[in-house]
Amino acid sequence: MSALDSSAAGKRLISLLLPDLGMGGAERVFLTLADSFAQRGYQVHLVVTRAEGALVHQVPQGVVLMDLAAGSESGSLFKLVRYLRKYRPYALLSTLDLMSSIAILARWLAGVKTLILVREANTPSQMPRAGWKKVVERLLLRWLFPRANILVAVSHGVADDMRYYASIDSRRITVIYNPALPDDLDVLKLEQVEHPWFAPGQPPIIMGMGSLVDRKNFPLLIRAFDQISSQCDARLVIFGEGEQRSALQMSIYRLNLADRIILPGQALAPFAYMARASVFVLSSNLEGLPNVLIQALASGCPVVSTDCPSGPREILDDGRFGKLVPVGDADAMAKAILGVLAGDHPMVDTAWLDQFRIGRVVDQYLAVLGLSDQEGLPRK
Q: DSSP secondary structure string, 73-92?
A: SGGGHHHHHHHHHHH--SEE
Same fold, 6-179+357-368 and 185-353: yes
Which helix (DSSP H) or strand (DSSP E) does residue 346 occupy?
Answer: none
pLDDT value of position 361:
97
pLDDT value of position 3:
41
In sequence order, the 6+-apart residues with CB closer than 8 A to the CB of 14 are 37, 42, 43, 44, 45, 89, 90, 91, 93, 369
pLDDT value of position 98:
84
pLDDT value of position 8:
52
Q: From first to last of the 380 residues of the chain, give the pLDDT tens digit.
A: 444 444 454 579 999 999 999 888 899 999 999 999 999 999 999 999 999 998 999 999 999 999 999 988 889 999 999 999 999 999 999 998 789 999 999 999 999 999 999 999 988 777 766 666 667 777 878 888 899 999 999 999 999 998 988 888 999 999 999 999 999 999 999 999 989 999 999 999 999 999 999 999 999 999 999 999 999 999 999 999 999 999 999 999 999 999 999 999 999 899 999 999 999 999 999 999 999 999 999 999 999 999 999 899 999 999 999 999 999 999 999 999 999 999 999 989 999 999 999 999 999 999 999 997 554 554 43
Q: Are 340 and 161 in contact, with CB atoms under 8 Å apart? A: no
Spatial separation of the C-alpha atoms in residues 194 and 301, rounded to whole Å:
19
pLDDT value of position 124:
76
- The residue extents of the domains of the chain are 6-179+357-368, 185-353
pLDDT value of position 20:
95
pLDDT value of position 203:
97
Q: Which whole-number Å values give the CA distances from 371 to 18, 31, 60, 284, in the listed order?
A: 22, 19, 21, 36
pLDDT value of position 61:
94
**What's the pTM?**
0.90
Which one-letter amino acid corresponds to residue 321? F
Spatial separation of the C-alpha atoms in residues 294 and 274, rounded to whole Å:
11
pLDDT value of position 128:
65
pLDDT value of position 1:
42
CATH of domain 6-179+357-368: 3.40.50.2000
Q: 185-353 has which fold?
A: Rossmann fold (3.40.50)
Spatial separation of the C-alpha atoms in residues 252 and 262, rounded to whole Å:
9
Q: Which whole-number Å values give the CA distances from 78 to 72, 137, 176, 237, in the listed order?
A: 12, 21, 30, 44
